[in-house]
Amino acid sequence: MGRTRRLAILLSLLPAGCAAIAGLDDEFIVGDTSAGVGGPGGTGGGGTTGQGGATGGSTGTGSTGTGTAAGAGGTGAGGGTAGGGAHGGAGGFGPTMYTSCQDVVSIGRDTGCHAYPIATPSGLEQLYCDMTVDGGGWTLVAQISGKFDNYDSWLRADVATANLATAAIESGTDSCINAVPMAVQRASEIRLSNSAIDRWVKWTLAPGRTVSTWWNHAAGYATIEAAADSAVTVHAHDGSTGACYQNVYGIMPWDLHGGSYPSAPRNEAGNTSPDDWCMAVGVMLEDTNANGFGQNNNGWDAPSAESTWPNGDYSSPPIVSVWLR
C-alpha cells in the first residue's frame, strides 16, 4: 500500500482532543514531518510618505503557521506601512502513530524494541513493542503482578498505562489498555510472557469473536458457559505445545474460577491444571462473586514467578505480561 493512501490525518488523536477512535477499518499513520514552512507574506499598503517597508511572519508550526515571506512594499507617491505575512502554510503533524506494533513492522520505518505511539480507543498510548522474539511485531497491552478484583476493567479500560512503555512487569500492579478493538480487529494471536520475554506461551485468538463478546465478563456466567468452545494449540517458548480450549468470549467458563481471562483452559468445561501450557489470568479475588461467577481460588492458572514456567499451581498471584499480534 502506498504512503499516500496510508496517510490519514486523524485530528481527533492530536493532543488538543485525544478523542475516542471507533471502528478502525484500515491501517493508518500520521506522517512525522517537521514544522511546516509558512506561506507568503501579505502585500504592503499604500501610504503618504516614504516607501513602504515589509515584514513577514515566522516559520509555520502545527497545522497552520504564519507567513515567512516579506510583504510587498507600499506604492504611490509615498510609501505605506508594510504588509504583514498573510497566512502560514501547513505545518507538520507530529510523531508517527500506528495501530499496533505489527503495523510498525509492516510499514518498515523502525524495528527497534521500545515504546511507540499506538492508537487506542482512548487516543495515543506509548506501548512497548517486542520486535525480536518469535518474529516480533508484538504489542504490550497489559501486565499484572498480584491478585486483583479487576473483572470489569482488565483489558477493557485504561489502567496505569504508563507502565506499558517498558517490558518490565511492575511489582504489585495491574496495568492495561482497552485492548478489545485491537484483539478483535487488528490481531490474530495472543501471548503471555515474563518480563525478559524468554518464557512465554501464545495461541491463536478464537474465531467468531466480536467487540461485544471478547473479554466481556459482564455477559455473565450462563451466557459464557453456553458459548461454543473450540480447540486451540498453545505454543511455548521451548517448542512445547498444549491442547487447550477457548470460546468467543475468551473467558474461562467454569463457574467457580471467577471468569478468568485471557483464558485457554485444558478442557471445554474450563478446568485448570498445574504444570501444563493451558493458562488463564484470574480476575476475581477468592470468595467473591460477580456476574454469576464465584472464585474458589483455582482460577489463577498462570505463572507466579519470572522463571517458573509453566506454573506449578493454579492459586498463586500471576506475574505475566499480555501481548497481541
**CB-based contacts of 317: which residues, under 8 Å, 6+ apart?**
145, 146, 147, 300, 304
**Contact (Cβ atoms closer than 8 angstroms) between residue 125 and residue 98:** no
Q: CA angle, 138 as apex, 311 and 132 as ends, to 5°?
A: 90
Question: Would you give the end-to-end CA distance of the chain in angstroms?
Answer: 20
**Confidence label for 261 from pLDDT (cuts 50, 70 and 90):** very high
The predicted pLDDT at position 95 comes to 52
C-alpha cell belonging to residue 52: 513602504
Torsion of CA 212, 214, 218, 221, to 10 degrees: 120
Task: Report the pLDDT averaged over residues 305-321.
Answer: 97
User: For residue 279, which of 239, 305, 311 has the smallest C-alpha distance?
Assistant: 311
Q: What ranges make up the beta strands (E) of 24-95?
A: none
Classified as helix, coil or strand, 222 is helix
Query: Residue written as cell 517486542?
Result: 130
**CB-based contacts of 34: which residues, under 8 Å, 6+ apart?**
92
Helices (H), the chain: 3-6, 101-107, 180-181, 221-226
Query: Residue written as cell 485468538?
Result: 205
pLDDT score of 186 more than 80: yes
Cβ-based neighbour number of residue 208 at 10 Å: 10
Task: Report the pLDDT averaged over residues 35-59.
Answer: 36
pLDDT score of 21 more than 80: no
**CB-based contacts of 231: which residues, under 8 Å, 6+ apart?**
243, 244, 245
The predicted pLDDT at position 242 comes to 98
CA distance 90 to 35: 8
Task: Report the pLDDT averaged over residues 271-284.
Answer: 97
The predicted pLDDT at position 109 comes to 74
C-alpha cell belonging to residue 40: 507568503
Q: Which residue has the higher pLDDT, 304 or 42?
A: 304
319-324 and 115-120: which strand pairing?
A: unpaired
The predicted pLDDT at position 111 comes to 83
Kind plus residue range of the DSSP H or E element containing 115: strand 115-120
Q: Which residue has the higher pLDDT, 279 or 19?
A: 279
137-174: pLDDT as tens digits: 999 999 999 999 999 999 999 999 999 999 999 999 99
58-101: pLDDT as tens digits: 333 333 333 333 333 333 333 333 333 333 333 333 456 799 99
123-144: pLDDT as tens digits: 999 999 999 999 999 999 999 9
